């Protein structure tokens, strides 16, 4: 019986170890930022700077109606628009009788309308605000890092995307080798607004 048990253990150790191998990573995109992910939503916070006009510069929170009230020019529609689009509108309207050749910049400070969820084997499962160029390594760090039981190279990311031509959203899933990314052995995976990151538990 002892001999049989030894044979079984050896077989599991040699042949069965494949059960514990990490799955191959997905072919995943390496694009850092998508323009549609940078649009402003209700309660998002951003800063407007008007060069050499500190009295017009300031921090704004998008109202539930999707607007801000800007000095001199009044109500500006910002919801659903990118920072670059907002810059152009404010600049154009200031140039229409208020300033000569105004230079305007818009910097998003916090996306309260856009989030990313980090679940599973992390120390503090949570939902965090989306920021442009958010890598999966940074997101997991914000969730306290991996637990000792985390399967670090088998992290699942679920993403919902609208097709370019319109229609129903498409759900995609990626297997991401986060430990390899952190060690510089795989390309960085950048998260998009609405992504869900799930860190599975290892079996051994």
For the chain (length 204 residues), average pLDDT per consecutive 10?
A: 46 50 92 95 97 96 98 97 98 96 97 97 97 97 98 97 79 97 98 98 86
Q: What is the pLDDT of residue 15?
A: 46
At 204 the pLDDT is 73
Contact 46, 70 (CB under 8 A): no
In DSSP terms, 102 is beta-bridged to none
Domain assignment of residue 11, yes or no: no
Q: Which residues contact 167 (CB under 8 A, 6 or more apart)?
A: none
Considering the domain architecture, whether residues 118 and 180 belong to the same structural domain is answered as yes
Domain with residue 128: its CATH number is 3.10.560.10
Q: Work out how many domains the chain is built from and give that number.
A: 2
pTM: 0.83
**Structure confidence at residue 191 (pLDDT):** 98
Say if 52 falls within a structural domain: yes
User: pLDDT value at position 2?
Assistant: 52
Query: Residue 92 has what pLDDT?
Result: 97
Report yes or no on 4 lying in a domain: no
Are the CB atoms for 44 and 62 separated by under 8 Å?
yes
Asked which of 65, 83, 110 is the last residue of a domain, the reply is 110
Measure Cα distances from 181 to 7, 81, 110, 118 in Å: 38, 32, 26, 17
> What is the predicted pLDDT for the residue at 203?
83
Examine the fold and report which residue of 91, 110, 129 is the final residue of a domain before the chain moves on. Answer: 110
Q: Are residues 140 and 50 in the same domain?
A: no
What's the pLDDT score for residue 12?
46
Same domain? 120 vs 133: yes
């Amino acid at each position: 019986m002892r001999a049989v048990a030894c044979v079984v253990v050896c077989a599991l150790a040699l042949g069965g170890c494949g059960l514990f191998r990490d799955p191959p990573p997905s072919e995943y995109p390496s694009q850092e930022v998508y323009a549609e992910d940078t649009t402003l939503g209700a309660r998002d916070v951003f800063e407007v700077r008007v060069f050499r006009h500190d009295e017009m510069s300031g921090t704004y929170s998008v109202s539930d109606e999707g607007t801000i009230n800007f000095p001199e020019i009044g109500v500006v529609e910002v919801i659903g628009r990118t920072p670059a689009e907002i810059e152009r509108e404010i600049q154009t309207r200031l140039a229409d009788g208020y300033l000569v050749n105004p230079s305007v910049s818009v910097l998003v400070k916090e996306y309260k309308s856009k989030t990313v969820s980090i679940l599973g084997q992390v120390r503090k499962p949570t939902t965090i605000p989306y920021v442009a160029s958010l890598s999966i390594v940074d997101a997991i760090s914000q969730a306290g890092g991996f637990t000792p039981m985390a399967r670090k190279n088998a992290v699942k990311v679920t993403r919902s995307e609208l097709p370019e031509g319109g229609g129903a959203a498409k759900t995609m899933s990626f297997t991401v080798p986060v430990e390899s990314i952190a060690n510089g052995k795989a390309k960085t995976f950048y998260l998009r607004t609405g992504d869900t990151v799930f860190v599975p538990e290892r079996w051994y």
